[in-house]
């Protein structure tokens, strides 16, 4: 074989083995040497079956057939091979040749090609997914590519369009000549009536500038989105009723009864009155009722009547017109009732409304209309009123502090929410749910609550109800050390550990008995707390109600602490 031909064959990446009519090897290039592990010089002239024991070249030569794209095992290497007979000018078979390659190498090459294709497709998809317009030019300033958003914004359908369609042409030129990025350049595109902000930067390979890329932000769109966001925030502040009936937990019959009544109420437009101690979930029920009603796609307005200055409550509820009083806003103010049109308004702490405002609220319920402060006109409103209180409205009516006619209007469908002390069997499910919620907030990993801790929690009378339970669980989790996953009795605040804290309105469980003096002391403290709360912390009136001196009351309060 001529040296130049041998050099070419040794340079090719494909392995080659050829035999003559006597089945002796006449060609064995370097690639074949690498794949078979046999020495090329030592293999030339030998019987091919001695070098490659499973060769099919003799068969191909004897039967004058081609075998294409066949797999074959060469030791530990699998190859893909093409075998063909070699013929002379007269067509007589005088030998055979095999051209083969490592299958693994072909697989890797195919994977690389496929991976490169996927990478290109991924980058193109990302490029088109960017919500800003992008244009890229080469080193001479010729437009190379633009993304989909550029096309939508400019109307240019391909790279044959104008380079300056969005005002970035001069910036590309500046970047290409200076090699420096240009940022936050504002331009107005008159023909498109758009304000844009452009960032432009050089594209480099090593130190060579090969092009420039510009990112064009549609400032008009940004302004609109900002306006839409502000409007959405305003709507969400009022519209969002966050909770549904799925968020209300409990298995006690009293709680299940309250839930069923609330679900029934949600199917009507009846005025509701939610009653229960502070922390029993009255607002949670109001949210759930709104979200289960036909009004759920409209406003949900929450008003804490006790949190608004009595002098301002009327103007906040009913609104006012410009100039109606000193300090009134220019243009007036839309009240909560008008904002809740077609939706729901939740009046929490309804007992705190003064008699004058109660009279106006009665008119809303009777006439379905409001009269803004300072306006001679009335405005019709379509809304559902849910009110809530922890006060004894019947007692307030007797005291002349709450209108009886308003009471009957509000009390169309009353729902009484049980205190936590009335449903101790619900403490575990509530505590676990609160624990999981606080895990996210505090970065803890608490998983459960020990039986001893639950025992103490069930013995406590929970004057603050679920709100107090959340506070106790939070404090217990703060007391847990890093890595602890179970809330134990020692994690509970000291007040929880007192055996004097016993619920008295249910049968006592085994082990709940306490000394009578501890039990009576607890009841006395609890009764004093209730009277103080009712009397607005007026100690003189509380001492009078108890029939003791003010000094004795201070002594008892001091001992209770």
Report how far residue 332's alpha carbon sits from residue 115's, in angstroms, rounded to the nearest whole number.
Answer: 65
> Which regions of 190-335 does DSSP assign to beta strands (E)?
194-205, 208-218, 272-275, 300-304
Contact 411, 353 (CB under 8 A): no
Q: Which residues contact 444 (CB under 8 A, 6 or more apart)?
A: 438, 477, 480
Report how far residue 282's alpha carbon sits from residue 237's, in angstroms, rounded to the nearest whole number.
Answer: 19
Task: Provide mean pLDDT across the span 62-86.
Answer: 90
Whether the per-residue pLDDT at 114 is higher than 80: the answer is: no
Contact 216, 198 (CB under 8 A): yes
Q: Which domains occur in the chain, in start order?
A: 3-107 (3.30.450.20), 130-221 (3.30.450.20), 240-416 (3.40.50.300), 424-514 (1.10.8.60)
Report which of residues 205 and 392 the model is more confident about.
392
How high is the pLDDT of residue 431?
92
Task: Provide mean pLDDT across the span 254-261.
Answer: 94
As a whole number, the mean pLDDT across the chain is: 83
Helix axes 516-534, 550-560, angle to 10 degrees: 120
Q: For the ranges 40-54, 315-329, 431-445, 477-491, which has the lowest average pLDDT?
A: 315-329
Q: What is the pLDDT of residues 7-53, one digit of tens each?
A: 777 778 889 999 999 999 999 999 899 888 899 889 999 999 999 98
Q: What is the pLDDT of residues 485-517, one digit of tens each?
A: 999 988 988 766 543 344 444 455 444 455 676
How high is the pLDDT of residue 170?
84
Tokens of 245: 């009936």
Contact 289, 262 (CB under 8 A): yes
Q: What letter would DSSP give residue 24?
A: B
Reported confidence tier of residue 419, pLDDT bands at 50, 70, 90: very high
- Listed residue (340, 338, 342) closest to 320, CA to CA: 338
- In this structure, the number of other CB atoms found within 10 A of the CB of residue 222 comes to 13
Report which of residues 285 and 532 the model is more confident about.
285
Reported confidence tier of residue 300, pLDDT bands at 50, 70, 90: very high
Strand pairing class (384-389; 379-380): unpaired
- Listed residue (289, 388, 306) closest to 343, CA to CA: 289
How high is the pLDDT of residue 226?
58
């Amino acid at each position: 074989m001529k040296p130049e031909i041998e050099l070419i064959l040794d340079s090719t990446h494909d392995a080659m083995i050829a035999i003559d009519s006597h089945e002796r090897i006449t060609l064995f290039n370097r690639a074949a040497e690498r794949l078979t592990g046999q020495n090329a010089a030592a293999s030339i002239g030998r019987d091919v079956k001695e070098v490659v024991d499973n060769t099919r070249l003799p068969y191909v030569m004897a039967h004058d057939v081609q075998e294409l794209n066949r797999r074959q095992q060469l030791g530990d290497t699998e190859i893909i091979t093409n075998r063909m007979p070699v013929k002379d000018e007269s067509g007589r078979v005088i030998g055979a040749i095999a051209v083969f390659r490592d299958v693994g190498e072909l697989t890797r090459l195919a994977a690389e090609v496929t991976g490169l294709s996927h990478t290109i497709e991924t980058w193109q998809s990302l490029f088109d997914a960017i919500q800003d317009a992008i244009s890229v030019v080469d080193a001479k300033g010729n437009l190379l590519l633009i993304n989909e958003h550029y096309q939508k914004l400019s109307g240019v359908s391909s790279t044959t369009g104008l380079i300056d369609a969005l005002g970035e042409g001069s910036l590309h030129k500046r970047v290409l000549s200076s090699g420096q990025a240009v940022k936050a350049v504002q331009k107005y595109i008159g023909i498109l009536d758009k304000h844009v902000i452009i960032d432009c930067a050089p594209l480099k390979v090593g130190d060579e500038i090969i092009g420039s890329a510009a990112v064009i932000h549609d400032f008009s769109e940004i302004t609109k989105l900002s306006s839409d966001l502000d409007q959405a925030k305003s709507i969400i502040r009022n519209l969002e009723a966050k909770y549904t009936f799925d968020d209300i937990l409990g298995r006690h019959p009293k709680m299940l009864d309250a839930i069923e009544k609330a679900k029934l109420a949600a199917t009507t437009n009846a005025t509701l009155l939610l009653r229960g101690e502070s922390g029993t979930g009255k607002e949670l029920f109001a949210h759930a009722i709104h979200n289960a009603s036909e009004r759920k796609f409209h406003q949900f307005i929450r008003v804490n009547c006790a949190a608004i200055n009595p002098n301002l409550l009327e103007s906040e509820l009913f609104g006012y017109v410009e100039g109606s009083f000193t300090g009134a806003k220019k243009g007036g103010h839309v009240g909560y009732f008008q904002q809740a049109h077609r939706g729901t308004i939740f009046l929490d702490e309804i007992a705190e409304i003064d008699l004058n405002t109660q009279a106006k609220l009665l008119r809303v319920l009777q006439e379905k209309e409001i009269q803004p402060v300072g306006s001679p006109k009335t405005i019709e409103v379509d809304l559902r009123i849910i009110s809530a209180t922890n006060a004894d409205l019947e007692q307030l009516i007797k005291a002349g502090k709450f209108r009886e006619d308003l009471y009957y209007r509000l009390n169309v469908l009353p729902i009484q929410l049980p205190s936590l002390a009335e449903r101790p069997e619900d403490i575990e499910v509530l505590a676990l749910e609160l624990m999981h919620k606080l895990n996210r907030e505090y970065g803890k990993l608490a998983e459960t609550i020990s039986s001893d801790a639950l025992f103490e929690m069930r013995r406590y009378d929970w004057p603050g109800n679920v709100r107090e339970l959340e506070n106790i669980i939070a404090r217990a989790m703060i007391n847990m050390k890093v890595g602890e996953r179970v809330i134990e009795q020692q994690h509970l605040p000291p007040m929880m550990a007192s055996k004097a804290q016993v619920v008295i309105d249910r049968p006592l469980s085994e082990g709940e008995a306490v000394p009578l003096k501890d039990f009576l002391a607890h009841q006395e403290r609890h009764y004093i707390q209730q009277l103080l709360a009712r009397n607005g912390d007026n100690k003189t009136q509380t001492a009078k109600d108890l029939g003791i001196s003010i000094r004795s009351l201070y002594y008892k309060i001091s001992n209770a602490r």
